[in-house]
Copies of this chain bind each other. A is one copy, B any other.
Amino acid sequence: MTTENVPVVEKIMNANDQIAMINRKKLDDAGVFAINIMASPGSGKTSTILRTIEDLAPDVRIAVIEGDTAPVTIDSDKVKALGIPAVQINTGGSCHLDAPMFSRGLEQVDLANIDLLIIENVGNLICPAGFMLGSHANVVVASIPEGDDKPYKYPNIYRGIEVMIINKMDLLPYVDFDMDYFRKGVQILNNDAVFFNISCKTGEGVSEWTSWLKNRIQQQKELAK
């Protein structure tokens, strides 16, 4: 490959993805592992984050970036109440975070003093799928009462994920939810996703998820050495 090819290669990548790559480099240089949590409104993204913090902090040093479509601090206040730094990004009505927004959020995070950065994307099963941020792993949180047909109806969000968390397992006895049908729906789109069935209410399954996360944080630290 000659140097003449470089500008062509750069043009293939859109502006968002170029900034995402810069964000990724910043995280890699600092040895910080970053996850982008996406979900439908009310599936329990914030509860999953709070449970994750309770399980990992203070051994793992965490910061959270909260994406919200409205200027409310409900979620970031809950994170801060656990003593964890939280940066809120108001998307101004937009239905997803993008790489430039995440970049501005990153500027407010003390990367030198954290191990894990959790991004809570805007509650939406469609828009966030189209925008790479620069995080290392995409995570979707589904919840039992949302129903088992979501992977079939909102396929794009499941394609690029590394982790599929199924939350509100405590509600399984009260809801018609066919776990095999749901899993099959995700696996058709993405055969590599790791599944964790959890309940933020009872704590069921949370430690399996945070063990996976600890391994990935450790790997990222080693890569940065």
Contacts and interface: CB of A to CB of B under 8 A. Distances in A.
A95 B126 contact: yes
Interface in A166-186: 168, 170-171, 174-175
A29 interface: no
Given A124-B124, A124-B126, A145-B143, A72 B152 contact: yes
Contact of A171 (B70, B74, B127, B175): B175
Place the interface of chain A in its size category: 20 to 34
A123 interface: yes
Interface in A95-141: 95, 122-127
30 contacts: A40-B40, A40-B41, A40-B42, A41-B146, A42-B150, A69-B126, A69-B153, A70-B152, A70-B153, A70-B154, A70-B156, A72-B152, A72-B153, A74-B149, A74-B152, A74-B153, A75-B153, A93-B126, A94-B126, A95-B127, A123-B125, A123-B153, A123-B154, A124-B125, A124-B126, A126-B127, A127-B127, A145-B171, A171-B175, A174-B174
Nearest to A144: B145
A91 B172 CA distance: 32
A40 B143 CA distance: 12
Kindly name the residue among A70, A94, A154, A156 whose own CB sees the greatest number of chain B CB atoms within 10 A.
Answer: A154
A168 to B, nearest CB: 6
Interface in A150-167: 150, 152-156
Contacts of A68: 153
A83 interface: no
Contacts of A143: 42, 145
Contacts of A75: 153
A147 interface: yes
B174 A125 contact: no
A34 B148 CA distance: 29
Interface in A42-85: 42, 68-70, 72, 74-75
Contact of A122 (B74, B93, B126): B126
A171 to B, nearest CB: 6
